[in-house]
Amino acid sequence: MYNITQDAVRRAVEKRMAKYVEINLVQQDGSLTLTVVDDGQAVKSTPNGSQQDLDMRVMRYRAETLGGEISATRDAEGRSCLVCKVPIDPEAAPFPAMS
């Protein structure tokens, strides 16, 4: 999850010129959910194989390696929202669940 977070923030700041990035990490119901929201410029449609496409493929590969999934959308306010959800074993978690 660390590398996915790092990639998402780098992509927002360097590629899409975001001035605001919000990172949330929540452990709930046997999964860990990472949400990265930013105010960067919309990603334009580009030919397959572009750097932006490669960034998402790398993050998707990392999520799938952990047994999870990742999606990128824009919210009603035009912000980019990347959500990555991976299953975890609560018994093996290195930190207690927060309520």
Per-residue model confidence (pLDDT) at position 68: 94
- What's residue 41's pLDDT? 84
pTM: 0.79
Tell me which fold the domain 2-91 belongs to. Heat Shock Protein 90 (3.30.565)
How sure is the predictor about 93, in pLDDT bands with cuts at 50, 70 and 90? low
CA atoms of 95 and 27, how far apart (whole Å)? 10
Task: Map out the domains of the chain as residue ranges.
Answer: 2-91
Distance CA 87, CA 71 (A): 15
Q: What's residue 90's pLDDT?
A: 57
User: pLDDT digit string (tens) for 19-71?
Assistant: 999 999 999 989 999 999 999 887 665 555 555 578 889 999 999 999 999 99
